[in-house]
Amino acid sequence: MIDSYATNTLRFNPDPFNNCGMCMLVCPHAVFEEDGRKVRVARPGSCMECGACRLNCPTGAIAVESGVGCATAMIFAALTGRKEATCGPDSDLPCCPR
């Protein structure tokens, strides 16, 4: 069973997952947490789609399209001198979870 979340592109497949905890170590928004002795997706809506979890997962259990979400919006805001990240260049709506 693969979990997917409508708010972003994060997908987690528990079948190849080895519970190493790398995703917890590298995630800047604490999307993953330990539940007993297993790591799970605890806050999927907080995922900023940076791709750190995917890049550091040794089993390929995590998939996310980096470059499409909040991380991209934050970089765009920094490059264009905006004070806050928005969902697009013509939008004033914030896109990053608070």
> How far apart (Å, rounded) are the C-alpha atoms in residues 36 and 81?
44
The two tokens of residue 88 are 């697009």
Q: Residue 27's pLDDT is what?
A: 92
- Please state, as a whole number, how many other Cβ atoms lie within 10 Å of the Cβ of residue 61: 21
Q: Please give the residue range of the domain that contains residue 52.
A: 3-66
How much of the chain exceeds pLDDT 70, in percent? 70
Taking the model in full, what pTM does it have? 0.66
Q: What is the CATH number of the domain that holds 31?
A: 3.30.70.20
Higher pLDDT, 8 or 32: 32
How many domains, the chain?
Answer: 1
25 domain residue, yes or no: yes
46 lies in a domain?
yes
Q: Report CA-CA distances (Å) from 16 to 1, 5, 59, 68, 91.
A: 11, 19, 6, 25, 39
pLDDT, tens digit, 9 for 90 and up, residues 47-72:
888 889 999 999 999 999 876 566 66
Residue 52 is assigned to a structural domain of this protein: yes
The answer on pLDDT for 95 being more than 60 is: no
